[in-house]
Amino acid sequence: MCGKKKVLIVNNNLATGGVQRSLVNLIDQIKDKYDITLFVFNNSGDYAKFLPNEIKVIEASPFLKLIGMSQAQSKKLGFMYYSIRAAFAVYTKIFSNHLPISMLVSSQDKLLRYDVAISFLHNADEKLFYGGCNEFVLSRVNAKQKITFAHCDFLNYGGNTARNREVYKHFDKVATVSEGCRQNFVKAVPELEAKTYCVYNCHNYSEYIYKANMNPIEFPKDCLNIVTVARLSSEKGILRGIDVIKRLVKENHKIRWHIVGGGSQKSEIEKEIQSNNLSEYVILYGNQENPYRYIKNADLFLLPSFHEAAPMVIDEAKCLGVPIITTNTTSAMEMVKEGLDGIVCGNNEEEIYKAIKRAFDEPSYFEKCRDYLSSQKYTNETAIKQFNKLISNKEK
């Protein structure tokens, strides 16, 4: 390891999620170039098994570990930890997460002598008992350079507060996952423009293709099959998507919407499907370890979100040759080229309806997109160049 830059990356856990997926992919891409240590609050989750053996992994002390786990998971640590986490969660809902995070972060011994320390998880809404990576890197790590990632549309995700903006000012550099995200972050914190970089998410394209070919789902051939892979939460726009499907079914269009994912809005979505007699047309599959086998044979991939950062699932679907329909969120125009990758539609129900209806009225449009997507080569070359530039000591 002699001569390699010592890089510490800090994250909350390795549970299923876009940030964790991006983290594991990045580590896999840079593991040979840098001496990497991963510090995780809670070293558990589906992605833990994907970490390369070459890297060092450190797990937090039991108190700090509480921020990286759910209330149910904290039971395994014992009644004392379960009670402390419950108390901190209640305190956070009433006041904010400032004091709980500060107390738990200070319980961890300092980490010393790194060239670069990276907080990979952005700060959350201050009423959520979540996050803490920024505070940990700033107060408990000794490093020549401190960097933070913002995997969010900072203007719209709920954590654009005076305190969070102040925290970001203490870092040497900020990395956002798209140019659109960078622009929105700079609008929120204009004084950090010179220190804010764009670093795309890394992908494991060969894994997506391999898993997509593992017993791929065969959809009915007599209808348009649309797939969405997303968390079932309000910002993903699933309920308005159901209204669009209802309208298309009333017009006698043969359509099926296949939704992979779970989340807090699941029961509400199920009720909406049942009350509109759409069980035949909108199918929920829940969380799936291998979502790619659902994407592979779809006619379209739909993302009807109200707001997004740079959703990894768009590039996942593209590399599997499935045309995209996405609402116009922060990075949509960057990620989906009109007429090549699919359609970026207006961020409302009517425009989503028009975009899907186009698949019935003008099927050749999406056939051309599919041909284009299938002809492309997908690599992480740009993302790695951006990351290397980010952690070099040179400014822009």
Residues 7/115, Cβ–Cβ less than 8 Å: yes
Q: Tell me which amino acid residue 356 is.
A: I
Residue 340, classified by CB atoms within 10 Å of its CB into exposed (0-12), middle (13-18) or buried (19+), is middle
Residues 6+ apart with CB under 8 A from 260: 227, 228, 229, 230, 285, 286, 287, 288, 291, 294
pTM (two decimals): 0.94
The rounded mean pLDDT for the chain is 96
- The 10 Å Cβ neighbour count of residue 349 is 17
215 within 8 A of 289, measured Cβ to Cβ = no
pLDDT at residue number 232 = 96
Could you tell me the pLDDT band of residue 46, with boundaries at 50, 70 and 90?
confident
Q: What's the confidence (pLDDT) of residue 1? A: 45
Measured between alpha carbons, how far is residue 289 from residues 5, 46, 50, 282 in Å?
34, 9, 13, 20
Q: What is the mean pLDDT of residues 57-85?
A: 96
Instruction: Looking at the chain, list the stretches that DSSP marks H as alpha helix, in order from N- to C-terminal side.
Output: 18-30, 62-65, 71-74, 79-94, 98-105, 133-140, 162-168, 179-188, 205-212, 238-250, 266-275, 292-295, 312-319, 332-335, 349-361, 363-375, 381-391
Residue 13: the pLDDT is: 96
Second-level CATH architecture of 205-375? 3-Layer(aba) Sandwich (3.40)
- The 3-state DSSP composition of the chain as helix, strand, coil percent (nearest 5) reads 45, 20, 35
Per CATH, the number for 6-202+380-391 is 3.40.50.11930
- Please state, in angstroms and rounded to a whole number, the distance separating the CA atoms of residues 184 and 52: 34
% of the chain residues with pLDDT over 70: 99
Task: Quote the CA–CA distance of 316 and 46 in Å, as a whole number.
Answer: 18
Count of residues for the chain? Answer: 396
In this predicted structure, what is the pLDDT of residue 373? 98
Contacts of 85 (CB under 8 A, 6+ apart): 66, 69, 71, 74, 129
- Structure letter (DSSP) for residue 80: H
What digits encode the pLDDT tens for the residues 165-221? 999 999 999 999 999 999 999 999 999 999 999 999 999 999 999 999 999 999 999
28/355 Cα distance (integer angstroms)? 37
Nearest CA to 347 among 360, 336, 332?
Answer: 332
At residue 395, the pLDDT reads 55
Q: What is the pLDDT of residue 394?
A: 60
pLDDT band at 396 (very low <50, low <70, confident <90, very high): very low
| CATH 3.40.50.11930 residue window(s) in the chain | 6-202+380-391
Task: Check residue 2 and give its pLDDT.
Answer: 55
CA distance linking residue 282 with residue 278, whole number of Å: 6
Average pLDDT, stretch 57-84? 96
What's the rounded Cα separation, in Å, for the pair 366 and 154?
32
pLDDT tens digits for range 263-304: 999 999 999 999 999 999 999 999 998 999 999 999 999 999
Q: Where in the chain is the domain with CATH 3.40.50.2000?
A: 205-375
Per-residue pLDDT, 196: 98
**Which tens digits make up the pLDDT trace of 210-254?**
999 999 999 999 999 999 999 999 999 999 999 999 999 999 999
